Amino acid sequence: MKTKGEYIESLKKQKPEIYMFGEKIEDRINHPLLKPQIDVLAFTYELARDPRYEHLTTATSHLTGEKINRFTHIQQSNEDLVKKVQMTRLYARYCCCIQRCMAIDALNTLSITTWLSDKKYGTNYYDNFIEYMKWFQKEDVCATGAMTDVKGDRKLRPADQADPDLYVRIVDRNDEGITVRGAKCHTTAAIPANDIIFLPTRAMRKEDKDYAVAFALPVDAEGMKFIARSTVPKRTSKMDRPFGQRWGVTETLTILQDVFVPWNRVFMAGEWELAGQVAEGFGVYHRHSYCGCKPAVTDMLSGTAALIAEYNGVDHASHIQGKLTDLACTAEQMYACGITGSVRGKPMGPGTYIPDITYVNIGKYIAGTHIYEEIYRVHDIAGGFAVTCPSGADFENPETRPDLEKYMKGKAEIPSEDRMKAFKLVEDLTAHGFAGWLMVASCHGGGSPEAQRITINRGYDWETRKKIAKVLAGIEPFEAFPEFKE
């Protein structure tokens, strides 16, 4: 396993082509709007060595028997799935989006689909995958998953788009490898990564077969370009953006301009019938990750709301307690879906454990549809200072500090400075910049709510439910009551 320092050194050896806010970025490690994101990923190397959490943050490789970072592990049991959800909630309580989940969710998916492809088509993607995985675990590679294509007109399938490059596709192939063109979007954590794993984003038809492509590339592959943006605010008073300045997220438009991929890094190249399974498999693993990170987001929100209620002297009020309890229920419902999905997970393909599709989709669906209500509750509890609290810079200014000390007082025994800090955290998490990211990430990250609703509906056993109703209504006899198989 790499140390945090070794991870940073590994980034220095690669020179990806990055643009952000109208500039070419030469130093991705020390740039003030990117460093807070590097810090998030570095944390995954740090906590893997913390004796308090090693049981969650590390695993044993099924390929080599070595101790590895759990973010490089292929799930081997229900216990592994449970630990992944627990680990994700642990990390996300510190920094919200831990960002190393996309890659491992993509790799777990590929461990199944490459195996299925070799069985069905006689390809050798699973061998490629295993060799890649051994290297990935040994080097403790920091990677991300790029699945979402830019997609053009949503009504049209890949091959029917006016511009054929709106989904990533193979434009050439030879004995050495394939050449790919197109763009992925919303790619979280490409900037702090060593490698990027590309997957098809949807089911494909025969005429879309060039779009059924999965592969891995180093971030500095020739012809790959990133156009990034960052959640990190330009420099402000430290008090004003306590979270947003400390931890960051970037997403990139990830452009592939005829990039060559050698065969040993190709995991699908034209097997269009399996593309849907890749998209669905990634959806399951990634929504499982959300069942860990989204309860942690609610932990942050509910903790902040409970603190401000205490500082304002309203923590005793029954309506405040009721709203805080609603937040607790949301967090624990999502987490319960993650744990249940883990416990009910099953082995697939070569024995990789995949979580229960229905439960993890319900967990992510709750996250996407409840976030706005959660934020409303925090606003309601916090009051108007959620957005009107004067800046930390004015607290530091001797001309205004005495006024703020006096008039920003809530409960007498709480220092005004602490109360202002708590309001600024409310503002940072729910009302400015990062807060907008948090809402949209909860809604669309891991797939839009409708994608989960469709999956839940499709997999749910409606016939059993209808049968129950028929017996209860007297349409069918009591003996017809369906067997309990949950």
Ligand X SMILES: Cc1cc2nc3c(=O)[nH]c(=O)nc-3n(C[C@H](O)[C@H](O)[C@H](O)COP(=O)(O)OP(=O)(O)OC[C@H]3O[C@@H](n4cnc5c(N)ncnc54)[C@H](O)[C@@H]3O)c2cc1C
Residues that bind ligand X (CB under 6 A): 102, 144-148, 151, 154-155, 186-188, 251, 440-441, 444-448, 450
Rounded to a whole number of angstroms, the minimum distance from the CB of residue 440 to ligand X is 5
Q: Which is nearer to ligand X, 89 or 287 (CB)?
A: 287
CB atoms within 10 A of CB 55: 12
Rounded to a whole number of angstroms, the minimum distance from the CB of residue 106 to ligand X is 9
Burial of 322 (0-12, 13-18, 19+ CB in 10 A): exposed
Q: Which is nearer to ligand X, 172 or 450 (CB)?
A: 450
Q: Which is nearer to ligand X, 91 or 385 (CB)?
A: 91
Rounded to a whole number of angstroms, the minimum distance from the CB of residue 99 to ligand X is 8
| CA–CA gap between residue 116 and residue 126 (Å, rounded) | 8
Q: Which is nearer to ligand X, 440 or 472 (CB)?
A: 440
Q: Which is nearer to ligand X, 141 or 382 (CB)?
A: 141
Q: Among residues 306, 459, 465, which one has the least CA distance to residue 382?
A: 306
| 314, 391 Cβ separation under 8 angstroms | no
| 268, 114 Cβ separation under 8 angstroms | yes
Q: Among residues 397, 388, 157, 178, which one has the least CA distance to residue 268?
A: 178
Q: Among residues 156, 186, 183, 155, which one has the least CA distance to residue 169?
A: 183
Rounded to a whole number of angstroms, the minimum distance from the CB of residue 462 to ligand X is 22
| CA–CA gap between residue 105 and residue 216 (Å, rounded) | 14
Rounded to a whole number of angstroms, the minimum distance from the CB of residue 235 to ligand X is 23
Q: Which is nearer to ligand X, 145 or 248 (CB)?
A: 145
Rounded to a whole number of angstroms, the minimum distance from the CB of residue 432 to ligand X is 16
| 160, 204 Cβ separation under 8 angstroms | no
| 248, 43 Cβ separation under 8 angstroms | no
Q: Among residues 172, 262, 184, 192, which one has the least CA distance to residue 221?
A: 262
Q: Which is nearer to ligand X, 448 or 457 (CB)?
A: 448
Rounded to a whole number of angstroms, the minimum distance from the CB of residue 329 to ligand X is 25
Structure tokens at 161: 């788009």
